[in-house]
Amino acid sequence: MAVEGDIVFSRKPDLGAEPPPSVFPHWVHRIRFKCYVCHDAIFKMKKGANPITMEALMAGRYCAVCHNGSISWPVGFETCQRCHVRP
């Protein structure tokens, strides 16, 4: 469930209702890391400037730079519910 400060990503309408959209807990990351850890090295600080797709994540880009199984839990079909939750 999304809370204040979370980023809820939009989905393409043709994808249907499942899985639910991804929710990024920005506030959790802000508590643990300085802004420069992610910006601008991994993510551009402009809404819509980061085309985050499952293909990009599986290629080790965006969230998967850290969510790789070594630094943090890995992105994959076993961990879908970590990001895809009802807002």
Q: Give the integer Cα–Cα distance in Å for 60 and 14.
A: 25
Mean pLDDT (the chain) is: 89
Phi, psi of 60 (to 5 degrees): 85, 20
What's residue 2's pLDDT? Answer: 72
pLDDT range class, residue 1, cuts 50, 70, 90: low
- pLDDT computed for residue 44 by the predictor: 95
C-beta separation of 1 from 87 below 8 A: yes
What are the structural domains of the chain? 7-83 (3.90.10.10)
Q: Which two tokens stand for residue 77?
A: 């079909």
For the cut 80, the answer to whether the pLDDT of residue 65 exceeds it is: yes
Whether the predicted pLDDT of 58 surpasses 90: yes
Q: Give the distance, in angstroms, between the CA of residue 70 and the centroid of all CA atoms in the same chain.
A: 17
Selection from 87, 23, 86, 81 nearest residue 52 by Cα: 23
